A and B are shown apart, each in its own frame.
Chain A
Amino acid sequence: MFEITINGSKRDVDVEPDTPLLWVLRDTLAMTGTKYGCGIAACGACTVLMDGQATRSCQVPVDSIGDSEIHTIESIEEDEVGRRVVDAWIDMQVPQCGYCQSGQVMAATALLKQTPNPSDQDIADAMANLCRCGTYNMIAAAIRQAAG
């Protein structure tokens, strides 16, 4: 049994120590906004915030979380920066199929929390998540808009 903090709430989860956070979220806690894409940290669809850092949850064993604060897409609009990112995503009509966008929004939120006015290079460095619909330009435009 592990106690972890998700979106400000303590949750007890009865899983093996090596269970990735991604599957704790999706299967144990029924929080399916965080997506499984590759399982090897290559695509970024499972990105969550771990103590404010964009983190690929498929590579985070539950026993490594400890007291870290996890924030997922389900709580994104409770965060001031996250809400601005979502607004920009809608305004710029970023998503197409949308499957990668939970991870993109989380990565963008982490970027703007650390770098409120990111350069193009900052965006290129931070936004490494794959998008098979090719919405990369719209994502960058939305980040610039959210930065204001």
Chain B
Amino acid sequence: MDYISSNKAATKSLPASEGASHMSRRAFLSTTVGAFVIGAVLPTRSLRAQAQGAAEGPAAIAAKPGTKVSAYLEIHADNSVKLLSPFVEGGQGIATGMAQIVGEELDVDPARFVVECAPPGPDYAIVNGIRMTGGSFSTRSAYPVMRQLGATARDMLIRAAAGRLKVQDDELATENGVVIHPATGRRLTYGELAEDALRLKPRDTVPLRDPKDFRYIRQPMKRLDVRDKSTGMAKYSIDQAVAGMLYAAVVHAPYFGTDPIGLANEADVMAMPGVHSVHSLPGAVAVTANSWWRARKAVEALNVSWSSPAPTGLGSVAKDFSSAGMLDALRSSTAKGLVAEQEGDAEAAFKSAAKVIEADYSAPYLAHAQLEPPSALAQFSDDGSLDVWLPNQMPELFQKVSAKTAGIPPELVRIHSPILGGFFGRHFLYGPANPFPQAILLAKTTGRPVKVIWSREEEFLNDALRPLSHTRFRAALDDEGRVTAIEARTVGEGPIGRYIGGGPVDSSAVEGIIEKPYAISNRRMDYVKLVHPVNIAFWRSVGHSMNDFFYEGFLDEIALAGGRDPFELRMELLQHSPRHRTLLETVAALSGGWRPGPYDAEGGKRARGIAMASPFGSETATIAEVSLVDGETRVHNLWIAFDPGSVVNPAIIKAQVESAAALGLSAALVEQVVYENGLRRDKNYDTYQVLTRGMMPQVHVKIVESGAPMGGVGEPGLPGVPPAVVNAVAALTGMRVRSLPLANTTFKGAI
């Protein structure tokens, strides 16, 4: 036990909830990076290196994020271009999209770019003044900034060439990485000019290319990382290695929030092959060894005593906590709601209604279940600085928390952000759901570099979850079946409220319930905050992932109660909005014309459902076609009309919409994290079901460019899918499912 207590002392600087409770915009903005960090990663004789002390130097300290060319571009003597991206690539194609945007204005074929995630630094805070990869914000935030950056760099290269060739700027042209003097045919590559160019002061305003002349933006260019990802060459966090590294495996406390208090067989475990050391950590035990398999076998052989959770209650994950009990608590809450949205006089409309309908909707906790298990590699150097390789969606914030964990200043922490093996919201800061503090503490204690990998079981048991939620709706209809008022009462908690703040009404709890496009003149949407004892998370499309299912399902109930076709009702409620009507007409045409069914098809009767959603600045209309096979829902086709306003890469958009649709379908059909007696039921993919090939429908995506302000891409394809599927099931069976996943409902004999 001596070892444990001594390690306890070493780990006291890490409160279990560190990070999560400190993730505020203020904290994020106060993060700064010293020259040491930048200098440490500078290659010699690159465009960036030349910037130190050059014309950009002094001005760069106060540079507006996204304007400092040298922070983003390295143009090497061999004319290769490296772009340091503010965003981490996790399959959403952002690296390629960024290369397209910069390459368009810089005049370099994006296929020639190498794109890496930039180290922490104030130059990359271009998402509403912060830096993150999430919220489907990347492209729409970066688009104007990166165009300007590329154009500024091109202008500097032209001026450098003008000086070299002793001609006027306007006598020069560029062509894919080369400055040309057409009158004489002289040519200078960007690589030859980069050093001179960076000595020039950037111009405040440079002209941008006319969109009608775009060659790369709006093209379905191939993604830059596909070859490496098809040949096993792509390196994720879990693949990182440094000399002398120890592997660590952990086992977490069975009850969330409890700690190890004793080890019965530490000596036996220390004697196992390859074992280096045994450790107690907040909420977990760890073993380091010379391979991860040995570390894992050893840590799972430890006989650990854990502290006891509370016997009951919702203040922590108590011994009798269950997801069913939590849902009951949400459903039976009588707390007064806060007004999330109010319009007209709903109360009066209900009083004079010819018909009132009411329904309860709910959705379960969900795991991210990204295929790459979480990991982190930490290495201290002799000078006291620290390198951390880790999956993350906010490098500066992870740098700050890493520094605090290590007990060193942030400028001594170098954060490396490898590509992500899926994320879907998994890699924000979630306190005990991130392994990097464990890696840092173990590296500090052992004096060796340590790579922590969570087993799949540890991940399923400790992932931060999409919150379970509940909404009760009421609608008033007049004697002609028209909807005159809608009320909603959403009870639960969202990740924005928990981790960021932003006012008493948690936007991430009510998004998808409020700000709908439908012309229902009397509305009263309330929010009741009820805190979950479990660790909650952002999950692809966040509140929309369930709330659009709630709302659009209930809208079909309104249609049924009013004797209207669901498609026609939506057209009627969107008479004022050509953008939405266009999407409805587009998705109907894409599916061969709206027909709800049921109708006969190969293999039995099928039916269709429709749903709309307005997530992350984009608009979607979705039609699903379903049948029942052995009492289980089979989705044959998804047709999705998607309007992101304007596009950068239509192929990436289609891939993202299909991917988001697959995840939405997974949630609609089978996914749920279930708590029983304070413990999560499922520990691996054998019982935590996710979408398999056999469940995958054909997905047909039509992009509509309305010209509206650019919206998000990565998440918006998801929210329309669960309600479209559930509405189709209702059309097929007459059974209205109000609680996901569909696998919980028995349809045997329904048709």
Interface residues of A (CB under 8 A from B): 15-16, 19-20, 23, 26-28, 30, 32-40, 42-43, 45, 72-74, 76-77, 86, 89-90, 93-102, 105, 124, 127-128, 130-140
| Chain B: CB-nearest residue to A23 | B293
Q: Are A38 and B232 in contact (CB under 8 A)?
A: no
Query: Chain B residues with Cβ under 8 A from A131's Cβ?
Result: 371
Contact B456 A37 (CB under 8 A): yes
C-alpha spacing A93/B223, complex, angstroms: 7
Nearest A residue to B683 via CB reads A40
Check A93 against B662 for contact (C-beta < 8 Å).
Answer: no
Residues of A within 8 A of B371 (CB): 35, 37, 43, 45, 97, 99-100, 130-132
A20: B residues at CB distance < 8 A: 293
Q: Do B455 and A97 have beta carbons less than 8 Å apart?
A: no
Whether, in the assembled complex, B62 has its beta carbon less than 8 Å from a beta carbon of chain A, the answer is no
Give B360 Cβ to nearest chain A Cβ, in Å: 30
Q: Return the chain A residue nearest B451 by Cβ.
A: A27
- Min Cβ gap B485→A in Å is 38
A101 touches B230 (CB 8 A): yes
Main secondary structure of the interface of A (DSSP, over half): loop
The CB with the most chain A CB atoms within 10 A, among B294, B423, B453, is that of B294
| Inter-subunit contact B239/A132 (CB<8 Å) | no
Known A-B contacts: A33-B231, A39-B457, A135-B659. Give 5 more (CB < 8 A). Answer: A86-B230, A97-B419, A134-B663, A134-B666, A136-B693
Per-residue CB contact flags for chain B residues 690-725 toward chain A (1 = under 8 Å, else 0) read 111110101100000000000000000000000000
Q: Mark B211-246, 1 if CB is under 8 A from A, else 0.
A: 000000000001101111111111110110100000
Interchain CA distance A77-B228 in the complex, whole Å: 12
B70 contacts A by Cβ under 8 Å: no
- Contact status B231-A124, CB under 8 Å: no
* B93 CB contacts on chain A under 8 angstroms: 96
> 6 interchain pairs (CB within 8 A)?
A23-B292, A43-B685, A95-B226, A98-B91, A99-B421, A134-B658
Nearest B-chain residue to A76, judged by Cβ: B231
| Cα-based distance from A128 to B227 in the complex (angstroms) | 22
How many Å lie between the Cα of A90 and that of B659 in the bound state?
Answer: 17
Does B655 contact A97, Cβ atoms closer than 8 Å?
A: no
Which residues of chain A are within 8 angstroms of B225 by Cβ–Cβ distance? 95, 98
Across the interface, do A33 and B227 meet the contact criterion of CB distance under 8 Å? no
Known: A38-B684, A97-B371, A98-B91. A130 touches B235 (CB 8 A): no
The reply to whether A33 and B232 contact each other, CB–CB distance below 8 Å, is yes
B80 at the A/B interface (Cβ < 8 Å)?
Answer: no
CB-CB < 8 A to A136: which residues of B? 662, 693, 696
What is the CA–CA distance of A138 and B692 in the complex, to the nearest angstrom? Answer: 14
Q: Which residue of B lies closest to A95 (CB)?
A: B229
**Which residues of A lie under 8 Å from residue B422 when comparing CB positions?**
97, 99, 132-133
Report B-chain residues with C-beta under 8 Å of the C-beta of A97: 90-91, 370-372, 419-423
The residue of chain A having its C-beta at the shortest distance from the C-beta of B421 within the complex is: A99
**B124 proximal to A (CB < 8 A):** no
Count A/B pairs, Cβ under 8 Å.
Answer: 164
Instruction: List A contacts of B423 (CB < 8 A).
Output: 97
In the complex, A26 Cα to B225 Cα: how many Å?
22
Given the contacts A132-B369, A132-B370, A133-B91, A33 and B226 also touching, CB distance less than 8 Å: no
CA distance A136 to B67 in the complex (A): 40
Alpha-carbon separation in the docked complex, A100 to B692 (Å) = 13
Are A102 and B291 in contact (CB-based, < 8 A)? no
CB of B686 within 8 Å of the partner chain? yes
* Minimum distance in angstroms from B375 CB to a CB of chain A: 10
CB distance from A55 to the nearest CB of B (A): 16
Q: In the complex, which of the residues A16, A74, A128 contacts B693, with contact meaning CB atoms closer than 8 Å?
A: A128
B449 CB, min distance to chain A CBs, angstroms? 14
- How many chain B residues touch A (CB < 8 A): the figure is 62
Other-chain contact of A73, B232, B453, B662 (Cβ < 8 Å):
B232
Which residues from chain B contact A128 at a C-beta distance below 8 Å? 692-693
Counting CB contacts under 8 A, is B661 at the interface? yes
> Out of A36, A77, A90, which one reaches B373, CB within 8 Å?
A36
User: Which residues of B (434-462) have their CB < 8 Å from a CB of A?
Assistant: 453, 455-457
Interface 1/0s, chain B 373-415, versus A by CB < 8 A?
Answer: 1000000000000000000000000000000000000000000
| B453 to A, closest residue via Cβ | A36
Q: Determine how close the nearest CB of chain A comes to the CB of B19; give it in whole angstroms.
A: 24
Kindly state whether residue B651 has any CB partner on chain A within 8 Å.
Answer: yes
B635-669: contact bitstring with A at CB < 8 Å (1 yes, 0 no)? Answer: 00000000000000001000100110111011000
- The 7 A-B residue pairs with the shortest CB-CB distance, nearest first, are A134-B662, A33-B232, A98-B229, A99-B421, A97-B91, A73-B232, A96-B91
Is the CB–CB distance between B273 and A30 below 8 Å? no
Minimal Cβ-Cβ distance residue in B for A77: B231
Is the pair A96, B231 in contact by a Cβ cutoff of 8 Å? Answer: no
Inter-chain CA distance A39–B684, complex, in Å, is 9
Known: A28-B291, A77-B231, A133-B91. A90 touches B222 (CB 8 A): yes
Residues of A within 8 A of B256 (CB): none
Question: Contacts of A33 on B, CB cut-off 8 Å?
Answer: 231-233
Least CB distance from A10 to B in Å reads 20
Contact B663 A132 (CB under 8 A): yes
Distance of A120 from chain B, by nearest CB (Å): 11
Q: For the complex, what is the distance from the CA of A74 to the CA of B690, rounded to whole Å?
A: 28
Q: How far is the CA of A134 from the CA of B423 in the complex (A)?
A: 13
Min CB gap A123→B, angstroms: 8
The residue that A99 contacts in the complex, of B222, B236, B651, B658, with Cβ under 8 A, is B236
Quick check: is B247 within 8 A (CB to CB) of the other chain? yes
A87 CB, nearest partner CB in chain B, Å: 9
- The reply on B541 being an interface residue by CB < 8 A is no
Q: Contacts A37-B456, A134-B696 given: A98-B421 contact, CB under 8 Å?
A: yes
Set B238, B291, B659, B693: member contacting A96, Cβ < 8 A: B659
Q: Which residue of B lies closest to A43 (CB)?
A: B685
Q: Which of B669-684 contact A (CB under 8 A)?
A: 684
Report if B92 contacts A (CB, 8 A): yes
A94 contacts B696, C-beta separation under 8 Å = no
C-alpha spacing A16/B296, complex, angstroms: 13
B225, B238, B292, B421 — which one has the most chain A CB atoms within 10 A of its CB?
A: B421
Which residue on chain A has the smallest CB distance to residue B235? A32
Residues of B within 8 A of A90 (CB): 222, 226-227, 230
- Counting chain B CB atoms within 10 Å of each CB, which of A37, A38, A72, A124 scores highest? A38
The reply to whether B232 and A124 contact each other, CB–CB distance below 8 Å, is: no
Instruction: Give the residues in chain B near A76, CB-CB below 8 Å.
Output: 231-232
CA distance A105 to B661 in the complex (A): 23
Residue of A nearest to B651 (CB): A93
Specify which chain A residues have a CB less than 8 angstroms from the CB of B229 in the assembled complex. Answer: 95, 98, 101
Partner of A30, one of B241, B370, B455: B241
Given contacts A93-B223, A96-B92, A133-B91, contact A27 B230 (CB under 8 A): no
- Does B291 contact A23, Cβ atoms closer than 8 Å? yes
Q: Quick check: A40 and B684 within 8 Å, CB to CB?
A: yes
Q: Which residues of B contact A34 (CB under 8 A)?
A: 232
How many angstroms between the C-alpha atoms of A89 and B696 in the bound complex?
A: 19
In the complex, A92 Cα to B259 Cα: how many Å? 49
Contact A105-B372, Cβ < 8 Å, known A39-B456, A98-B421, A124-B694: no
B469 to chain A, nearest CB (A): 22
Q: Is the CB of B686 within 8 A of A40?
A: yes
Min Cβ gap B99→A in Å is: 15
* Docked complex Cα distance between A138 and B658 (Å): 10
The smallest C-beta distance from B97 to any residue of chain A, in angstroms, reads 13
Give the contacting residue for B293; candidates A27, A74, A130, A135; CB below 8 A: A27
Contact B690 A130 (CB under 8 A): yes
